[in-house]
Structure 1
């Protein structure tokens, strides 16, 4: 944790107080994943020292030791090195560990703050209630969001199911229209062919008896049967059976929805 001995005991008492208070509220706690302390300028991005979870919302805690800053007085060696080498940079400040601590929280939606630090007027011991409350508020916000997400997902599924039901209706209507238009085309085609067959009969009557006339009559007989089969009026007229639609069949009628589910 990179804490000096001067503050270790107090830091652990603060941690113990936090864990005791949050466990009484039913929150779960666990050791963090930190294995070593990062460099001071990267310590806020380090792995947590401990975690407290309220209503499913995990909050990561870092216990940091503050640093005092003082103007740096260059040494003779630093001045000499800087004069010899252009890449040498003399630091502007010196940092030393202070006896002040800072508690940082990450995870969830911030309410009051993300960090609490010792001040002359308010040491961290006086701010522990706020920190515990912050964990609870983040847990409540997470639970509200979870419930809202569930409701939004439920409403989305209902809208998807309604869209699927309507798409199946529209698909069935499209199948009927397609069948009707196909019958109309077949009927007109049959009428045109029947007119042509009538012309064939007139022509055949003028043919001499024999092979040529027999062939023409055979052709007319087959053509007449074909027209009979082609003309939808010669069949049973009824509503067509609607095949079970596939996903691709419904896609044109879904207006942006995915046939495989509301989450796609």
Structure 2
């Protein structure tokens, strides 16, 4: 938190003077002056009321600050210990050192303000006005060049980038167009082009941010506000709620479903279901998380007396060097609810970018992510179909190859039997010649019987005795099916 004794910056002093003048009509560039007024109210300088419309008045502290340029002096009280019984005179008291409150350095106001706002220094004001005029002329030159302008940028790229930021921050190119700058193939040359912001069906985000009040909040955002789910300071909470309202309203206008993330606890107080984010937007079959995040600054840590004493007592203690302090900048994080693919869009005070101008891009990112996932799902389905078709074709080729293998195996078997029958018949001719010369009648009779059986058996072995033909089909074994299917898949293109 910023100390209430820290001097106001230029933006806050300007809003304070405007309130002191009675809030006269003024053409503010946006509604961030209300956010600055809330910051002044937190520092007890103004009092804001919304009865009968938005209005603000100075408090006594605000009038004092406007007159003297500083806050009223506050007298600090020193706590003393009561006198102990061992005191000789009963009047000696020991003063207790009270550590002074740690004052964090005030950050300059990060809201996007037109460069024409008085900066106090005439030189700075003149420079800002010159840059504004140059940015307006740059937008006119790009428009005259039909939306595409090439210019030399040697030594001027940073200056030209700042002009582009001014064009977009002040909407010199129009509310729904942005000026972009990119390098070209030619060294030292850049190209300026206009791009149209993504489509937006509901009220334009800047118009919602600049409105005095929202007649009817989005029901889910109203629940977020009622349940106090936003994790940000009170100074930026109104703007954060408007960002969520704008985003939720646009999601409904596009036909998406916006609900509150589930956060259920059991009877013992433990989280049973915890869905991250401030909004849950369903686009077709995908649930996305939308969160508004407050940015932080890293400031030097001022050690406290307790930290110093503990470090003296315990040498291993380390005092942190930095503190993370929330500032006035916001960001919006969108991504898949149960995934790690997130995209964040942030304020950028240096480039004068506010997150309201990036909401169309955030919505476009969500829809494109859903389209990418649908395309990936369709591609996976087509790959699955192609894989099934490839598997069926491989099985068909394996069946054909199995039949061919059976025929080849039968052919080799028949050829082997035919060669064997020929050799046996030649042997039987020699056997018949030997039988003729046997003298013993008993031996000769036995040899003749054996020869007759052999001749009959040869006739049974001869594959050409009957009509040659293909073998009978049989089912493939599991090993044959796997081997033939894999071979068929490898041979396919």
If the TM-score is normalised by the length of the shorter chain, which range does it land in?
0.7 to 0.9
Q: Is the 8 A contact 1:102 1:117 kept in 2?
A: yes
Q: Is the 8 A contact 2:398 2:488 kept in 1?
A: no
Query: In 2 relative to 1, CA 193–72 (structure 1 residues): closer, same or farther, beyond 3 Å?
Result: same
Q: Which residue of 2 aligns with 1:85?
A: 314
Query: In 2 relative to 1, CA 190–96 (structure 1 residues): closer, same or farther, beyond 3 Å?
Result: same
Q: Is the 8 A contact 2:335 2:366 kept in 1?
A: no
- Counterparts of 1:93 and 1:224 in 2: how far apart (Å)? 109
Which structure exhibits the higher relative contact order, with contacts defined as CA atoms closer than 8 Å and separated by 6 or more residues?
1
- Please list every run of 5 or more consecutive structure 2 residues that lacks an aligned counterpart in the other structure: 1-228, 266-273
1:241-256 correspondence runs (5 A): 241-255=472-486
Q: Which residue of 1 aligns with 2:441?
A: 209
Query: In 2 relative to 1, CA 55–226 (structure 1 residues): closer, same or farther, beyond 3 Å?
Result: farther
Q: Which residue of 2 aligns with 1:261?
A: none
- Counterparts of 2:239 and 2:447 in 1: how far apart (Å)? 114
- Please list every run of 5 or more consecutive structure 1 residues that lacks an aligned counterpart in the other structure: 37-45, 259-264
| CA RMSD in angstroms, aligned pairs only | 3.2
SS in 2 for 1:22: helix
1:214-225 correspondence runs (5 A): 214-225=445-456
Please state how far the C-alpha of 1:104 moved relative to its aligned partner: 1.8
1:31-50 correspondence runs (5 A): 31-32=260-261, 48-49=276-277, 50=279
Q: Is the 8 A contact 2:417 2:462 kept in 1?
A: yes
Please state how far the C-alpha of 1:137 moved relative to its aligned partner: 1.0
SS in 2 for 1:103: strand
Q: Which residue of 1 aligns with 2:293?
A: 64
Please state how far the C-alpha of 1:133 moved relative to its aligned partner: 1.1
Q: Which residue of 2 aligns with 1:130?
A: 361
Please state how far the C-alpha of 1:93 moved relative to its aligned partner: 0.8
Please state how far the C-alpha of 1:99 moved relative to its aligned partner: 4.1
Pick one of 380, 388, 396 that aligns with 1:165: 396
Query: In 2 relative to 1, CA 257–172 (structure 1 residues): closer, same or farther, beyond 3 Å?
Result: closer
1:176-255 correspondence runs (5 A): 176-207=407-438, 208-210=440-442, 212-255=443-486
- Counterparts of 1:30 and 1:206 in 2: how far apart (Å)? 112
- Counterparts of 1:51 and 1:85 in 2: how far apart (Å)? 48
Q: Does 1:18 align with 2:247?
A: yes
Name the one with the larger helix percent: 1
Number of aligned positions between the proteins: 246
